[in-house]
Structure 1
Amino acid sequence: MKRALALLVCLAVSAAVSPLTFAEGAASKPQIVKAYRVTENGLQEVSIQEYLNHPCAKASGNYPGSSAVKGNVNPGGRITADWCRYDESGTLEEVRCSDLRKRVSRYIENYTQLPQTYSGKYAAAQKYQINISLTTEKFSAVKAGVSFTWEDYAYQEKTEAMSVNPGCRGWWEFEPIMNNSYGYLKTFSWLGELKAQEWVDAWSPNTLSDGRLDGYLLYMEEPL
C-alpha cells in the first residue's frame, strides 16, 4: 500500500510541474527541452508530458551498488551452517528513478545569435541500489529470490546531435528505469529455525535485450 501511495504522490508532483522545468531554487532554471526514451531501435522522442506521466519512484537512502562484503563461510561445507532465503513481498517494475537522474555529457555553449547544432556524446551507467549492506551469501540469496531478471550494472553510450538555442548552455541528462523488489531476507539455522530477518529494498537497472541500460535521455538548457 505504501508503495502505491508513493507512486501516486510522484505522479501527482509530476503533473503539477511545468513540462519545461525541473530544477528548483535556481535563478535561471534549467529546462527540459526534449525527452527521448531508449528503445531496442535507438532513441525515440516522446513528449515531455509522456515522460512525466511514466510511473516514478525514488531509490534514495539506499547504498549504491558495490561488491558485497564476504561473510563467514563454512569451509568444510558442514550442514551445521546457517542459510539464507529472500522472501519477496512485492515489486515495482520499469519505474523511472528521478533521484538517480544525472548529467551524462559536457556542457555545450552557444554564444551566437542563431540556434547551433552540435554533436554531444553521452555515457550513462547505473549500478544496483540496496538499503542494507549484505554479505556475499546474503546478496546471492536476494538475487536468487527476486521475481525479475536481476542486473548488478548496466551501461550505454552514444553520440547524439543537440540543437542549442542562442545564448544558452545545453547538455544531456539520463534518468534510469529500474526494477524494485522489497521483502524480508531471513536467516535460518541448519535445523530450519528462523534466527533473524531483515527488511530489504533492492533496486536493479532495467535493461534492453542487448544489455543496454533502459531509461530516458533528456536534453537540457539554461541561459548563459
Structure 2
Amino acid sequence: MGTFVVIVVIIIVIVFAVNISKGRAQANEERLIENYTSGNYDEVIKSLSKKEFGITSDKLMMLADSYFKTGDFENGSKYMKEAEQESTPYRRNEIYKLWGLALYNEKDYEGAISMLQKYDQDEIKEDAKQFNSYDVPKLLGVSFMALEEWELAINAFKKAPLGAKNQNSELAMLNELTGDCYKELGKAAMAKKHYNLALTTEYKKSIKNKIKEIE
C-alpha cells in the first residue's frame, strides 16, 4: 500500500511539473509574439538567442526580420536563408516578402525585385482576393519605379485588381502610382484614368493637382 501511494505521489508531481513547464512555455511564447508585434525587436533577438523555444522556420523568420528591423542586415540574411531551407512553400512566400522589403530598405532595388519575383504569383492573387493584401505588387512596383522601369512597374501593379470598385486606401495608392508611371511615359490619358480611379476613394484628394498638371 505504501509503495502504491509513493507511485501515485510521484505521478502527481510529474504531471504538476509538466503542466508548470507547459504554462511557462506558453507564457514565453505569448511574450515573444507580443514583443515582435509591438516592435520590441531587441527583446525578440535576446529571447530567441537564448534558445528558449524550438527553432522552427517561423521562429527563424521572426529572428531574421527582427535583425532586419534593428539594422543588422548580415544576421537578418543569415537567418532568412535558414528559414527558407526549413519552410513550406506557403511560408517561403512570407520570407520572400520580408526579405524583399529589407532589400528595398537597403536601396538594393534589383535584389528586392529578384526576391519578390520568387513569390508565388497565384498566391498574390489569392491574397488580394481574401485579405486585400497588395503589399507584394506594391513593393515590386516601387522597386521598378526606383530604377525608372516604368512599364515593368505598371505590370507589377497590375497584379492587384486596379479597376476594382469598392477600393481601399492601399488599392487607391496603387492606382496613383500607376498613374505616376504613365505620366513618366508621357501617356497622359492612361495617367488620368488611374488618377481618377484613386479619386473614387477618400484617399489623397490632393491628386487632383496631378490631374490638372497633365490636362
Decide: shared fold, TM above 0.5.
no
Looking at CA atoms only, which structure, 1 or 2, has the larger radius of gyration?
2
Larger RCO, structures 1/2 (Cα 8 Å, 6+ apart): 1
| TM-score, with length taken from structure 1 | 0.20
| TM-score, with length taken from structure 2 | 0.21
Higher strand share: 1
Higher helix share: 2
